[in-house]
């Protein structure tokens, strides 16, 4: 899992060079500026800005309907932004097809689990490998040596991922037959198989109990270090966000209302208002 | 009499299913010698049964007719299973592509039989040029990102017309040069010899498949962008268009030899058991190898969840089109084989209502089960045409119509009792997921705590 920065020369990347890492700040992986999404008359996201730096583990939070998932959908290309730019290693993702964005190194999971329900867990992870399977259609049709070698290599790597998440015993089960928590982990394993540099996790802890959340936090730390990932996650479980996220961005009504460390966010008046309503800020700190 | 016939028919159906099981087992055998030897034996068994030993024939003309029908139906239904069962695109166009394949192949050999090489030259060149055109335009389209599908379609359409025009021009120019080689009826030339005829037949079937595939590419490119239900309606429209064109081949289309609604007669009967078996096995092998490769997994992921497939880096539009084209290729090949067995093509055969048959077979055998499709194709033909028609025929002249009451009831019962299809996910022999040799040691990586 090498982190190679694409060396494309374009007008955009010239811009990007001016953002070369300063003495102690890693290079930005994702730079979103003035991102806007309009659904008819509804402005789901407006003037959204975000910079995620190499190796970061950042969080995106906000009340329901704040536009967090819409931001994710725009990053992964499922929605076309109304305006704004999304730079990934200096390359603008706006206008690219979702599969091209994934192939350029952005993996994601979904808020409502989206596994391939009638395929085995192993096949789910193997599909993540498809864009870099290393053999073509005709190798597959002829089932030649190249096919065998690549297929074996892929399967072994997929099993490694499953082992990391303690899922190897489920590998031949259909994905839909797995318990909820396991399905979430399969989804993360599948996203990792597409060899991302940036991983977007949409509410990875939804529906998990405290013990499972504890384990999930370990996994997230572990995969970031092991696969040199940069992670951006959306979460409602404040325990998880406040514990593991380095920089937290808070959205409300499609706009950024606060940004900072867990400590700063917890004491931000606007954040408390967004979550608890106006007037709440004066009475108490948020019990997050 | 009826009871005896019933028993014999049941034995026949059981025997044919056992035979299919055997063929799939042989195909799946590890040892290459056994595999090839076994296939020759499997071919030989039926061939021997078809032979006429001085008036005695185990498989009568009626039975062999069923057998060939079942083989072509298997190819068509396997193609549809790829489109509908594995890729999740509900298509009613399969029967149209079957018809396109049948008429294309029939026209090539029919003309050849009359000493006219234009059919082969024009269709062959057209298919090759069309294929090259598609590759070239595809490269062009890729360069301009975000080109609307309809603009792409227009480019492909212009390319197709140009490729066709070039093929017609070259074909017409070359034809007079070949004409003397056909000789005259008293002294047939080299091109009229039976061996050449067999080769032409083989090429005609391949060209028919490729032509059906290219038509499906052109049709599928814009139409596959529609959602599932709308796609189904559009494909129904396609089948109706194709059938209408078939009825009017001599008036709307410049093919008087196809004789429009009266039906095309005099197609050389070139389909032997050898060809049917060969094409059937080829289709089965291609289908299975495709499904158990990364491409196959990509095709299935589109069926399972398009959004998730996109997020996994899979080009959903491409794989929809790919599955559609390969499925149509199989249908076209099946059509070519069918046309040369009965030697007569009637547009009525390709009516869109009959086009529901492969769909029913695919659902009956189990969506996404290759074995189910193969077994259901054979079972369907032998049961419906072989057993019910004859059995009911003995009860009265109008009685065979009852089979269209009986089989829907059977289908309803099956759907209620076994919604996953007759065989569900069961695959036999060759069609089982092949094991991949892995390293011996257990995976070592795990979370270090």
**In B, which residues are within 8 Å of A135 by CB distance?**
293-294
What average pLDDT does this structure show over A199-203?
Answer: 94
8 A C-beta contact, residue B165 and residue B198 = no
What average pLDDT does this structure show over A52-65?
Answer: 92
Tell me the C-alpha distance between B140 and B152, whole Å: 10
B415 shares a domain with B338: no
B89 shares a domain with B35: no
8 A C-beta contact, residue B269 and residue B334 = no
Whether B134 maps to a domain, the answer reads yes
Nearest CB partner across the interface for A99, out of B305, B313, B438: B313
Question: Using 50, 70 and 90 to split pLDDT, how confident is the model at B385?
Answer: confident
Question: Using 50, 70 and 90 to split pLDDT, how confident is the model at A11?
Answer: very low
Provide the pLDDT for residue A7. 42
State which residue of chain A sits closest to B298, comparing Cα positions: A127
- Best probe of the B interface among A77, A96, A114, A117, by most B CBs < 10 A, is A114
State which residue of chain A sits closest to B368, comparing Cα positions: A118
Provide the pLDDT for residue A44. 92
* Whole-angstrom Cα Rg for chain B: 23
Q: Please state the φ and ψ torsions of residue A243, each to the nearest 5 degrees.
A: -80, -45
B128 shares a domain with B249: yes
- Best probe of the B interface among A93, A130, A226, by most B CBs < 10 A, is A130
Q: How far is A265 from chain B (nearest CA, A)?
A: 30
Q: What is the pLDDT of residues A104-122, one digit of tens each?
A: 999 999 999 999 999 999 9
A152 touches chain B (CB under 8 A): yes
Provide the pLDDT for residue B445. 44
Nearest CB partner across the interface for B307, out of A114, A152, A155: A114
Whether B437 maps to a domain, the answer reads no
User: Does residue A12 carry a pLDDT above 50?
Assistant: no
Nearest CB partner across the interface for B301, out of A127, A155, A163: A127
- Best probe of the A interface among B311, B320, B368, by most A CBs < 10 A, is B311
Residue among B36, B44, B1 at smallest CA distance from B19: B44
Whether B360 maps to a domain, the answer reads no
B222 shares a domain with B73: yes
Mean residue pLDDT of chain A comes to: 86
Question: Using 50, 70 and 90 to split pLDDT, how confident is the model at B368?
Answer: confident
What average pLDDT does this structure show over B186-212?
Answer: 90
Provide the pLDDT for residue B439. 56
Subunit contact B301:A116, Cβ cutoff 8 A: yes
**In A, which residues are within 8 Å of B307 by CB distance?**
78, 110, 114
Subunit contact B313:A126, Cβ cutoff 8 A: no
Provide the pLDDT for residue A181. 85
A108 touches chain B (CB under 8 A): yes
A50 touches chain B (CB under 8 A): no
User: Does residue A284 carry a pLDDT above 60?
Assistant: no
**In A, which residues are within 8 Å of B297 by CB distance?**
119, 123, 126-127, 130
Tell me the C-alpha distance between B269 and B337, whole Å: 10
Place of tokens 């390293």: B439
How far is residue A78 from each of residues A232, B313, B425, measured CA to CA in Å? 17, 12, 33
State which residue of chain A sits closest to B448, comparing Cα positions: A222
Tell me the C-alpha distance between A269 and A105, whole Å: 36
**In A, which residues are within 8 Å of B447 by CB distance?**
164, 166, 218-219, 222
User: Does residue B141 carry a pLDDT above 60?
Assistant: yes
8 A C-beta contact, residue B28 and residue B21 = no
Place of tokens 């937290």: A248
Tell me the C-alpha distance between A144 and B159, whole Å: 34
Q: Which of A45-49, B62-66, B112-116, B140-144 has the highest mean pLDDT?
A: A45-49
**In B, which residues are within 8 Å of A78 by CB distance?**
307, 310-311
Q: What is the DSSP secondary structure assignment for residue A168, as one 8-state letter?
A: G
B449 touches chain A (CB under 8 A): yes
Q: Secondary structure of chain B in the HEC alphabet?
A: CHHHHHHHHHHHHHHHHHHHHHHHHHHCCCCHHHHHHHHHHHHHHHHHHHCCECCECCCCHHHHHHHHHHHHHHHHHHHHHHHHHHCCCCCCCHHHHHHHHHHHHHHHHHHHHCCCCHHHHHHHHHHHHHHHHHHHHHHHHHHCCCCCHHHHHHHHHHHHHHHHHHHHHHHHHHHHHHHHHHECCCCECHHHCHHHHHHHHHHHHHHHHHHHHHHHHHHHHHHCCCCHHHHHHHHHHHHHHHHHHHHCCCCCCCCHHHCHHHCEECCCCCCCHHHHHHHHHHHHHHHHHHHCCHHHHHHHHHHHCHHHHHHCCCCHHHHHHHHHHHHHHHHHHHHHHHHHHHCEECHHHHCCCCCHHHHHHHHHHCCCCHHHHHHHHHHHHHHHHHHHHHHHHCCCCCHHHHHHHHHHHHHHHHHHHCCCCCCCCCCCHHHCCCCCCCCCCCCCCCCCC
Question: Using 50, 70 and 90 to split pLDDT, how confident is the model at A18?
Answer: very low
Question: Using 50, 70 and 90 to split pLDDT, how confident is the model at B345?
Answer: very high
The ipTM (two decimal places) reads 0.86
Subunit contact B289:A119, Cβ cutoff 8 A: no
What's the distance, Cα to Cα, between the start and end of chain B in Å?
Answer: 77
Of B301, B328, B354, which residue constitutes the final position of a domain?
A: B354
User: Does residue A136 carry a pLDDT above 90?
Assistant: no
A155 touches chain B (CB under 8 A): yes
A123 touches chain B (CB under 8 A): yes
Long-range CB contacts (within 8 A, 24+) of B17-22: B17/B375, B17/B378, B17/B379, B19/B45, B19/B46, B20/B374, B20/B375, B20/B378, B20/B428, B21/B428, B21/B429
State which residue of chain A sits closest to B147, comparing Cα positions: A95
Tell me the C-alpha distance between B170 and B424, whole Å: 51
Q: What is the DSSP secondary structure assignment for residue A4, as one 8-state letter?
A: P
Subunit contact B297:A119, Cβ cutoff 8 A: yes
Tell me the C-alpha distance between A7 and A29, whole Å: 13
Tell me the C-alpha distance between A63 and A178, whole Å: 30
Subunit contact A222:B308, Cβ cutoff 8 A: no
Of A147-156, B181-190, B219-228, least confident by mean pLDDT is B181-190
Subunit contact A194:B437, Cβ cutoff 8 A: no
B83 shares a domain with B180: yes
Subunit contact B316:A116, Cβ cutoff 8 A: no
Burial class (CB in 10 A: 0-12, 13-18, 19+), B91: buried
- For chain A, residues classed under CATH 3.40.50.300 are 27-105+196-281, 113-195
8 A C-beta contact, residue B389 and residue B382 = no
Q: How many CB pairs under 8 A join A and B?
A: 133
A42 touches chain B (CB under 8 A): no
Question: Using 50, 70 and 90 to split pLDDT, how confident is the model at A282?
Answer: low
Whether B412 maps to a domain, the answer reads yes
A148 touches chain B (CB under 8 A): yes
Whether B436 maps to a domain, the answer reads no
Q: What share of chain A is helix, strand, coil (3-state, %, to 5)?
A: 40, 20, 35
User: Does residue A6 carry a pLDDT above 60?
Assistant: no
What average pLDDT does this structure show over A152-174?
Answer: 90
Q: What is the pLDDT of residues B262-307, one digit of tens each?
A: 999 999 999 899 999 999 999 999 999 999 999 999 999 999 999 9
Subunit contact B145:A151, Cβ cutoff 8 A: no
Q: How many domains does chain B have?
A: 2
B236 shares a domain with B275: yes
Provide the pLDDT for residue A279. 64
B315 shares a domain with B232: yes
Tell me the C-alpha distance between A229 and A36, whole Å: 26
Provide the pLDDT for residue B1. 56
Q: What is the DSSP secondary structure assignment for residue A123, as one 8-state letter?
A: H
A154 touches chain B (CB under 8 A): yes
User: Does residue B440 carry a pLDDT above 60?
Assistant: no
User: Does residue A24 carry a pLDDT above 80?
Assistant: no
Subunit contact A141:B146, Cβ cutoff 8 A: no
B392 shares a domain with B308: no
Subunit contact B447:A97, Cβ cutoff 8 A: no
Taking residue B139's Cβ as centre, other Cβ atoms within 10 Å add up to 9
Provide the pLDDT for residue B91. 93
Provide the pLDDT for residue A164. 87
B413 shares a domain with B312: no
Tell me the C-alpha distance between B181 and B6, whole Å: 53
Mean residue pLDDT of chain B comes to: 89
Nearest CB partner across the interface for B311, out of A76, A130, A162: A76
A256 pairs with which residues across the strands? Answer: A251
Subunit contact B310:A98, Cβ cutoff 8 A: yes
What average pLDDT does this structure show over A90-110?
Answer: 93
Whether B448 maps to a domain, the answer reads no
What average pLDDT does this structure show over A29-40?
Answer: 93
Q: Class assignment of domain A113-195? A: alpha beta
State which residue of chain B sits closest to A163, comparing Cα positions: B446
B222 shares a domain with B246: yes
State which residue of chain B sits closest to A167, comparing Cα positions: B446
A166 touches chain B (CB under 8 A): yes
Provide the pLDDT for residue A274. 84
Whether B82 maps to a domain, the answer reads yes
Q: What is the pLDDT of residues B49-107, one digit of tens each?
A: 888 777 777 788 888 889 999 999 999 999 999 999 999 999 999 999 999 999 999 99
Tell me the C-alpha distance between A224 and A246, whole Å: 13
Q: Above pLDDT 90, what percent of chain B?
A: 60
**In B, which residues are within 8 Å of A108 by CB distance?**
311
8 A C-beta contact, residue A222 and residue A185 = no
Tell me the C-alpha distance between B274 and B23, whole Å: 15
Of B328, B354, B380, which residue constitutes the final position of a domain?
A: B354
Subunit contact B314:A127, Cβ cutoff 8 A: yes
8 A C-beta contact, residue A108 and residue A199 = yes
B49 shares a domain with B70: no
Strand, helix or coil at A9? Answer: coil
Q: How far is A279 from chain B (nearest CA, A)?
A: 41
Whether B70 maps to a domain, the answer reads yes
A156 touches chain B (CB under 8 A): yes
**In B, which residues are within 8 Å of A114 by CB distance?**
305, 307-308, 311
B265 shares a domain with B228: yes
8 A C-beta contact, residue A254 and residue A44 = yes
- Which range marks the domain in which residue B119 is found? 62-354
* Whole-angstrom Cα Rg for chain A: 20
User: Does residue B402 carry a pLDDT above 90?
Assistant: no
**In A, which residues are within 8 Å of B300 by CB distance?**
116, 119, 123
Query: Is A27-105+196-281 a domain of CATH 3.40.50.300?
Result: yes
Provide the pLDDT for residue A285. 46
Q: What is the pLDDT of residues B114-127, one digit of tens each?
A: 888 899 999 999 99
Subunit contact A130:B304, Cβ cutoff 8 A: no
């Amino acid at each position: 899992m090498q982190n190679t920065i694409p060396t494309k020369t374009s007008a955009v990347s010239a811009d990007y060079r001016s953002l070369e890492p300063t003495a102690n700040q890693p290079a930005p992986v994702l730079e979103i500026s003035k991102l806007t999404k309009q659904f008819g008359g509804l402005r789901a996201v407006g003037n959204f800005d975000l910079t995620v730096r190499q190796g970061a583990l950042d969080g995106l939070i906000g009340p329901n309907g704040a536009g967090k998932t819409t931001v994710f959908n725009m990053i992964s290309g499922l929605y076309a932004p109304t305006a704004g730019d999304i730079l990934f290693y200096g390359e603008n993702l706006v206008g690219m097809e979702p599969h091209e964005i994934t192939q350029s190194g952005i993996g994601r999971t979904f808020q409502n689990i989206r596994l391939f329900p009638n395929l085995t867990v192993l096949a789910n992870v193997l599909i993540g490998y498809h864009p870099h399977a290393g053999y073509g259609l005709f190798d597959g049709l002829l089932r030649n040596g190249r096919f065998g070698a690549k297929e074996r290599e892929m399967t072994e790597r997929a099993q490694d991922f499953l082992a990391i998440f303690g899922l190897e015993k489920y590998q031949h089960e259909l994905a839909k037959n797995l318990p909820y928590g396991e399905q979430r982990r399969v989804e993360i394993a599948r996203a990792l198989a597409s060899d991302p540099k940036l991983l977007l996790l949409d509410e990875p802890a939804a529906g998990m109990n405290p013990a499972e959340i504890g384990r999930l936090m370990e996994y997230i730390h572990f995969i970031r270090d092991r696969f040199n990932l940069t992670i951006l996650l959306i979460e409602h479980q404040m325990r998880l966000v406040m514990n593991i996220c380095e920089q937290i961005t808070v959205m409300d009504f499609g706009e950024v209302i606060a940004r900072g460390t867990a400590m700063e966010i917890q004491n931000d008046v606007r954040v408390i208002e967004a979550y608890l309503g106006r007037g709440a800020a004066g009475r108490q700190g948020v019990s997050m | 009499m009826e009871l005896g016939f019933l028993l014999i028919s049941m034995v026949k159906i059981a025997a044919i299913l056992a035979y299919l099981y055997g063929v799939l087992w042989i195909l799946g055998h590890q040892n290459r010698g056994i595999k090839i030897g076994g296939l020759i034996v499997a071919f030989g068994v039926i061939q021997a049964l078809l032979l006429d030993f001085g008036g005695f024939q185990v498989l009568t003309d009626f039975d062999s007719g069923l057998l060939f029908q079942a083989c072509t139906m298997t190819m068509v239904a396997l193609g549809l299973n790829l489109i509908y069962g594995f890729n999740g695109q509900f298509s009613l166009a399969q029967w149209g592509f079957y018809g396109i394949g049948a008429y294309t192949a029939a026209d090539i050999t029919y003309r050849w039989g009359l000493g006219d090489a234009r059919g082969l030259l024009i269709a062959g060149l057209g298919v090759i040029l069309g294929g090259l055109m598609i590759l070239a335009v595809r490269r062009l389209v890729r360069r301009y990102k975000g080109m609307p599908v309809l603009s792409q379609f227009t480019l492909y359409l212009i390319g197709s017309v140009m490729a066709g025009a070039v093929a017609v021009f070259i074909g017409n120019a070359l034809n007079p040069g070949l004409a003397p080689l056909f000789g005259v009826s008293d002294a047939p030339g080299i091109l009229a010899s039976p061996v050449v005829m067999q080769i032409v037949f083989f090429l005609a079937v391949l060209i028919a498949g490729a032509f059906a595939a290219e038509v499906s590419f052109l049709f599928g490119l814009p139409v596959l962008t529609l959602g599932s239900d709308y796609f189904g309606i559009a494909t129904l429209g396609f089948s109706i268009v194709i059938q209408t064109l078939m009825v009017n081949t001599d008036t709307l289309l410049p093919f008087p030899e196809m004789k429009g609604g009266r039906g095309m007669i005099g197609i050389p009967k070139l389909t032997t058991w050898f060809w049917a078996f060969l094409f059937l096995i080829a289709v089965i092998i291609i289908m299975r190898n495709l499904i158990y490769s990364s491409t196959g997994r990509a095709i299935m992921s589109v069926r399972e969840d398009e959004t998730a497939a996109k997020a996994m880096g899979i080009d959903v539009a491409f794989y929809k089109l790919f599955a559609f084209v390969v499925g149509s290729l199989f249908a076209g090949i099946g059509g070519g084989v069918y046309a040369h067995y009965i030697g007569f093509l009637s547009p009525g055969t390709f009516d869109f209502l009959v086009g529901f048959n492969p769909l029913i077979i695919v659902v009956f055998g189990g969506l996404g089960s290759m074995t189910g499709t193969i077994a259901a194709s054979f079972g369907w033909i032998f049961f419906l045409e072989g057993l019910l028609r004859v059995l009911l025929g003995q009860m009265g002249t109008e009685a065979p119509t009852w089979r269209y009451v009986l089989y829907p009831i059977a289908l309803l019962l099956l759907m209620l009792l076994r919604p996953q299809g007759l065989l569900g996910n069961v695959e036999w022999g060759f069609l089982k997921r092949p094991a991949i040799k892995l390293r011996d040691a257990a995976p070592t990586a795990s979370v270090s705590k």
